Amino acid sequence: MFFLIGLLIPLSLGQYFELTELNIQLLIGLVIGVIFFVIVLFLYYLHLEYQIDDRRKRVETILPDFLFLVASNLRSGMTPFNAFQNSSKEEFGPLAEEIKTITVKSLGIESFRDSLKKLAKKFDSRILSESVSFLSESLRSGGKLANLLEASAEDVSKTQELKKEMISGTKMYVLFVLFVIVIATPLLMSISVQFLAMLTVIQSESTVDSSELNVGFLSSEISITPEFMQNMALLLLFGNAVLSSLFIGVLIEKHAKLGIKYSPIIFIVSILLFFGFKIIISGFLSIV
């Protein structure tokens, strides 16, 4: 749909941009359509990745409580199958839904151990996969299953606490990156643009030929315009926003692609500060 929208844009609006040849309109429309298609496909891919990550986080958060509940049911005299079936409460969210599914399958078409192994494939979670594998082997070999589940739940809780401490330890790195990208870079770019604009005005108002001046950078005409410098600054801020969001995704989410969601916010804030600093510096130079 978005590909067709991009394809029809030059055909509908080409007359307003002096594009009357049909071949050129079709070529430009094809390029715009492909760009729209790739962008929408990429956004949908990110949407699925965020859903997968959200399911993983929810399952890993409630996994220790679920294991403790299963262990409690086992201590009350239930079989492993009944303990899992009675532990699938609604508050456990997606994990409870998948537990209900595997318990239904275990009643007819496959064993409980085989169904339990498929549970780990429903979520992109290493912690859940290791816990399920450990539980499956425990069911096969026998032993005090309740004690094993409680020990596994405690290990999961400690692992989650260590992850939180690691994330807290990287907050200073995140703040430093945000300071450089959101504040320092727009400030330096605005100073560069205003400095170039000031030099351009000085050269244009000078009554002496610039080639006769022997004042360093004023002795030759500047070929870079302030408008070009501003466009390059905007491009640089956009690239910095994307790269910094990937870096923040690695620090916080452990996956670079999960940090893409921060790039629009970083880019918008840096753009606003860039123009804000530009206005402030322009007013300061006019006063001086």
Burial class of residue 61 in the structure, from the number of CB atoms within 10 Å of its CB (0-12 exposed, 13-18 middle, 19+ buried): middle
pLDDT of residue 267: 93
Please state the rounded mean pLDDT for residues 264-281: 92
CA nearest to 177, candidates 243, 244, 250: 244
pLDDT of residue 82: 83
Distance CA 171, CA 166 (A): 9
Is the per-residue pLDDT at 117 higher than 80? no
Please state the rounded mean pLDDT for residues 8-19: 75
Q: Model's pTM, two decimal places? A: 0.68
Least confident segment among 157-161, 238-242, 282-286: 282-286
Q: pLDDT (tens digit, 9 = 90+) per residue, 190-237?
A: 988 888 888 877 777 664 554 554 555 555 566 778 888 889 999 999
pLDDT > 70: percent of the chain:
88
Please state the rounded mean pLDDT for residues 27-53: 90
Distance CA 200, CA 224 (A): 9
The contacts of residue 75 (CB under 8 Å, 6+ apart) are 146
pLDDT of residue 34: 93
Higher pLDDT, 224 or 4: 4
pLDDT of residue 259: 86
Contacts 24+ apart (CB under 8 A), 250-253: 251/167, 251/170, 251/173, 251/174, 252/167, 252/170, 252/174, 253/53
Q: pLDDT (tens digit, 9 = 90+) per residue, 64-111?
A: 888 888 888 888 888 777 888 888 888 888 888 888 888 777 776 667
CB 184 within 8 A of CB 273: no
Higher pLDDT, 265 or 89: 265
Q: pLDDT (tens digit, 9 = 90+) per residue, 118-152?
A: 777 888 888 888 888 878 777 776 667 788 888 88
pLDDT of residue 109: 67
CA nearest to 133, candidates 157, 108, 152, 110: 152
pLDDT of residue 281: 85
Distance CA 271, CA 178 (A): 13
pLDDT > 90: percent of the chain:
16
pLDDT of residue 202: 74
Write the DSSP symbol of residue 76.
T
pLDDT of residue 266: 92
CB 139 within 8 A of CB 80: yes
**Per-domain boundaries in the chain:** 2-53, 58-163, 170-287
Distance CA 34, CA 7 (A): 8
What rounded mean pLDDT belongs to the chain? 81
pLDDT of residue 270: 93
Residue with tokens 């309109």: 25
